[in-house]
Structure 1
Amino acid sequence: MRLLLLTGKGGVGKTTLAAATGAALADRGAATLVVSTDPAHSLADAFAVPLGHEPAAVADGLYGAQLDVRALADGAWDGVREQLQAALVRGGGLDGLAAEELSVVPGVDELLALGEVQRLAGTRQWDAVVVDCGPTAETLRLLALPEAVSGYLRRMAGPVAKRSGLARSMARLADHTRSLRDLLTDPVRTSVRLVFTPERVVVAETRRTLTSLALRGIRVDGMIANRVMPSPGWWRGAAAAWVRQRRRQQDEVLAELARSGLGEAAERLRSVEYRADEPVGVAALREIATELYGTSDPLGQGSTADGSAPTEAGGPLLQMFEAGDGYRLRVAVPLARDSVVDLARVDDDLAITVDGVRRLIALPEPLRACRITDAESDPRGVLVHLEGAE
């Protein structure tokens, strides 16, 4: 089973492309589910069929679902939250108001939505699950939650330890978040595809998203430029001149992106032209899929450049090597030219912050006694200089 998540800035057409990707996979014989975690719930509009929380047939081999996140929270979390609140009052010595505030786990709605995606993917009913995620900012919060909530649950272990029933509930939730994190950071099973329109502001956000996902150890296997202006050909006149100018501007943006050194994702860039008619229904989505993938496998971008399956998992790739004055450690995260990078030591971890997104990375054993003396960055990542302890 392959899990493919499509995300992008709001309004770039990710729902349409997720639906088109699902249609392409089903046409190639893969049992495919397209599921939306986007609160806007436009997947049903794209397929032109009614969709609900449970998977419903759209076409042969193709199913769709729109998750009701609020219902998930009401059914799965409220009981645990009430137990946690009681434990904080009785076992933690807090008053009711403080306990109520602490018992609200940030992002639990989104965490449950991600857990529901995992449940659907784990039914073994599907060869591929394509996820229409919310806008980029929401998706980054969503994908960061398993790690964040795991830390929150560890901190809450003390106050709930005396209540065995609640402790078991919290332990199950902690195990669940760990399994989510393992799924998201497994590049063989899971990848993200970024959708954008060829505009400088949108591309800048897309590059920051790429770096943020790399810091969290989540693989981006490709990018899709949507709504590329068609060439006006031999047509003349004011309208043709406008289209020709917009296409030239878009080509310049795409050329800059190709030269940006953002790695695998930018190298595997596909594009879809703007259409006069809104693509609604499976037939229209198949036309987009043909333009997008041709006869190739829509999941083919899940392989490495040489066609083999990727093997690195669990975080950014670290490359350590010796130098004359100590060691060098490369943290292979794609960086834009204007990325702001900050490094710090936190015990045996390296805290790396890129454009406001922070990640703790465990240092290899030989480097834990070393100190950071310098660092430099390029499009391939951050090169950290370390010296041995005296």
Structure 2
Amino acid sequence: MRILLFTGKGGVGKTTLAAATAVRLAGRGRETLVVSTDPAHSLADAFGTRLTGEPSLVDTRLHAAHVDTRGLVDSAWDELRAQLRAVLAGAGVDELDAEELTVVPGLDELLALTEVARLAKTDNWDTVVVDCGPTAETLRLLALPDAIATYLQRAFPARSVRGMVSGVGRQGWVDAVTRLAAHLAELRDLLADPQVTGVRLVLTPERLVVAESKRTLAALALRDIRVDGMIANRLVPKAGMRRGPAATWLRTRRGEQDEVLAELRASTPIELHVVEHRAAEPVGLEALASLADELYGRSDPLGSSVSRPPSLLQIRPEGAGYVLRVAIPLTEQSDVDLARIGDDLAITVDGMRRLVPLPAVLRRYEVADASVDGDGLLLQFAGTTP
């Protein structure tokens, strides 16, 4: 099974392109499920049909659904939070404090991701296409397995939990925490496996949008999540031999867009597809199939010209120490901050942070220098081992 996550700045057309990709995949004989996790659902509008939280048949080999995160929270979380409040209250925690402690940040997004994983297992799908929310929401979504695991570990350490809970309740809570940890690890492995999951970044050929897309590439690389394709949507048509003010505007605007895309292609090896702006909004299976023809031509939507990405961390010995490369695509405008926190390296790129456990061989060394090259960060570790 392959999972394709479509994301991009709000309004760039990611829902339509996700739907068109799903139509192409199903048309090529693959059992395909397309799911929307965007809180502002428009997947049903793209198909011109009604969708629910469970997969429904849209066309031969094509099913679609949208995730109702609010309903998931109402049905799945209230009971668990009530149990947790009881545990904390039994440990002498004030009722108001207990209420605050049971508010897990990003719960809606976590449940949405969990629901996608559940739906992916409901049938023998060849491909699951996910219409994600706008870029910022998607980055939070993909960071959640790590973030919530860290949150729970710090808020409810295993020793503290065992000390607070006694009897039958104790074993039940410990089992629940163990199951949650395993579930988060499974989600993280699913997202980080480039043989299973790929991200398709949708953009419009404008400098501000492309700048955000470059930051997104760095943020996803920081999470070890592979972007295996980009789609530039809504290129204005070429004017050809036409004359007049409208033709002049088309040539000028298309020239600006082509220049932006040339710069983007020069900055990354990721395959870039382009789609021209259409006079009529593509709604319905026939229009989506036509859009997919323009988007992919004769190629396979699952194909990619990019090989398996390098691992996030690469180490090599140098002199009396080591060099650690952190493989993140950076630009001259990237805002990078590094900090050593115990045995972890806190890496912040354009406001997105990740705690990366240092390889054991480096934990007795100190960071002596840091620099940036075309392949990411280079950290010099110096010191002597005992």
Q: TM-score, normalised by structure 1?
A: 0.93
The aligned counterpart of 2:6 is 6
Alignment deviations for residues 134-159 of structure 1 (CA, whole Å, 9 cap, x no partner): 00111111111111111122231455
Residue 221 in 1 paired to residue 228 in 2?
Answer: yes
**Structure-1 residue corresponding to 2:136:** 137
1:389 aligned partner: 384
Write the mapping of 1:202-221 to structure 2, written as runs, cut at 5 A: 202-221=209-228
Counterparts of residues 1-390 of structure 1 (less than 5 Å): 1-91=1-91, 93-155=92-154, 156=156, 157-161=158-162, 162=165, 163=169, 164-260=171-267, 262=268, 264-265=269-270, 268-301=271-304, 304-305=306-307, 310=308, 316-324=311-319, 326-389=321-384
Separation of aligned partners in 2, 1:57 and 1:257? 38
Contact 2:47 2:283 in 1 (8 A): yes
Measure, in 2, the Cα distance between the counterparts of 1:19 and 1:153. 36
In the TM superposition, structure 1's runs of 4+ consecutive aligned residues that sit over 4 Å from their partners are: none
SS at match of 1:383: strand
Q: Matched residues in 2 for 1:160 and 1:346: separation? A: 25
How much has 1:40 moved relative to structure 2?
A: 0.9
Query: Whole-Å Cα distance in 1 between the matches of residues 241 and 251 of structure 2?
Result: 10
Kindly state the Cα deviation for residue 133 of structure 1 after the two structures are TM-superposed: 0.2
CA offset digits 1:236-263 (Å, max 9, x no partner): 1111111111111111111111222x3x
Is the partner of 2:300 in helix, strand or coil? coil
Q: Secondary structure at the match of 2:132?
A: strand
Deviations 1:195-250 (A, max 9, x none): 00011111111111111111011111111100011101111111111111111111
Question: In structure 2, what is the Cα distance between the partners aligned to 1:124 and 1:361?
Answer: 35
Q: Say if 1:332 and 1:382, in contact at 8 Å, map to a contact too.
A: yes
SS for the counterpart of 1:213 is helix
CA distance in structure 1 between the partners assigned to 2:97 and 2:159 by the alignment: 16
Matches of 2:362 and 2:161 in 1, distance apart?
37
Q: How many residues matched?
A: 377
Q: Kindly state the Cα deviation for residue 344 of structure 1 after the two structures are TM-superposed.
A: 2.1
Q: Whole-Å Cα distance in 1 between the matches of residues 106 and 336 of structure 2?
A: 27
Indicate if the aligned counterparts of 1:37 and 1:131 stay in contact, CA closer than 8 A: yes
Mapped partners of 1:317, 1:12: distance in 2:
29
Check conservation: 1:80, 1:166, Cα contact below 8 A: no
Contact kept? 1:37, 1:133, Cα under 8 Å: yes
Which whole-Å CA distance do the structure 2 matches of 1:165 and 1:343 have between them? Answer: 40
**Inter-partner Cα distance in structure 1 for 2:362 and 2:153:** 27
Alpha-carbon distance between aligned partners in 2 of 1:36 and 1:43, rounded to the nearest angstrom: 6
Partner deviation per Cα, 1:40-78 (whole Å, 9 max, x = no partner): 110000011111111111111111101111111111111
In structure 1, the gaps of 5 or more residues are none
Q: Take 1:388 and 1:215, find their aligned partners in 2: how far apart are those partners?
A: 26
CA deviation string 1:241-287 (max 9, x = no partner): 11111111111111111222x3x43xx11111100000000111111
Q: Is the 8 A contact 2:13 2:233 kept in 1?
A: yes
User: Is residue 331–residue 383 contact of structure 1 (8 Å, CA) maintained in 2?
Assistant: yes
Q: Percent identity?
A: 61
C-alpha RMSD of matched pairs (Å):
1.6
Q: Secondary structure at the match of 1:77?
A: helix
Aligned partners of 1:367 and 1:388 also within 8 Å: no
> TM-score, normalized by length of structure 2?
0.94
